[in-house]
Amino acid sequence: MDPHNKVPPPDNYAAFLARLDAATTSLSTRARALDKALTAVSLLLGRYQRALRGWERRLVRVNEELARHSGEPQTSAALNELQRTAVQMESMHSAQVLRLTEKLSLMQGRLDAIGRSVRELEVSRAKLDTSRRLSQDRENLSKALYELAGTGGGGAKVPDLGLRNDLKEAREAVILAEALLEVKES
C-alpha cells in the first residue's frame, strides 16, 4: 500500500481463495455422489454373490444326483438340462461378480483420489490464508513505519531521516524473516 494513496490495493488472495473453495465444493459434491453409487454397487455385488453361491450349491446337488442316477432316460435328460442351466447361471453370476468387483475397486480408487485432492485443497487454502494474513500484517507494518517516519500524509510532521532509514531496515528484516519462514514451511 502506497503511504500517500489511501486506496487499498485489490485483494488478489480473495480470488484465489474463492477458486480453492469452489474446487473443494465441486469435489465434495462428486465425492458424495460417488459414495452413494459405491453403496448401491456394493449392495448389487452382495446380491450377485449370494445368487452365485446358490447356483454353485445347485450345481453340486445336480452333479451328485447325476452320479447316483441309474434310472430312466427322461430323468437323466432332465438332470442334464438342470446341470447345463446351473453351469450357465453360475458362469453368468460369476462374470457379474467379477465385473462388479472391478467396478467397485475403480470407484473406490476415484473416491480415494477425490479425498486426497480435497485434503490438498484444504492445506493449500490454509497456506494461502496464512500468506494473506502475513501480507496484511506486512502492509500494516509498512503503513505504521511510514507514519512513524513522518510520511503518513500529514504535512505538519517533520520527517526524521535517520528514523526512516532504521524503520526501512527493520521492515526489510521482517520481510526477509517472513520469506525464510515461508520457505521453511514448504
Under 8 Å between Cβ of 152 and 146 = yes
Q: Which residue has the cell 526489510?
A: 172
What is the reported pLDDT for 45?
98
Q: What percentage of the chain exceeds 70 in pLDDT?
A: 84
Q: What is the 3 state secondary structure string of the chain?
A: CCCCCCCCCCCHHHHHHHHHHHHHHHHHHHHHHHHHHHHHHHHHHHHHHHHHHHHHHHHHHHHHHHHHCCCCHHHHHHHHHHHHHHHHHHHHHHHHHHHHHHHHHHHHHHHHHHHHHHHHHHHHHHHHHHHHHHHHHHHHHHHHHHHHCCCCCCCCCCCCHHHHHHHHHHHHHHHHHHHHHHHHHC
Q: What is the pLDDT of residues 107-154, one digit of tens each?
A: 999 999 999 999 999 998 998 888 888 888 888 887 877 777 665 554
- Kindly indicate the confidence band of residue 52, based on its pLDDT and cuts at 50, 70 and 90: very high
Q: How far is CA 10 from the centre of its chain?
A: 30
What is the reported pLDDT for 143?
81
Nearest alpha carbon to residue 135 among 16, 25, 22, 5: 16
Q: What is the pLDDT of residues 64-121, one digit of tens each?
A: 999 988 888 898 899 999 999 999 999 999 999 999 999 999 999 999 999 999 999 9
Distance CA 108, CA 102 (A): 10
Residue count of the chain? 186
Domains and CATH numbers, the chain: 12-185 (1.10.287)
Angle made by CA atoms 116, 119, 107, in degrees to the nearest 5: 30
Q: List CB contacts of 4: < 8 A, sequence separation 6 or more.
A: 151, 153
What is the reported pLDDT for 155?
46
Statement: residue 160 has pLDDT above 80: no
Angle made by CA atoms 16, 21, 24, in degrees to the nearest 5: 125
What is the reported pLDDT for 98?
98
User: Can you give the pTM of this predicted structure?
Assistant: 0.65
- Residue 176: HSE in the Cβ half-sphere, 13 Å Cα cutoff: 6
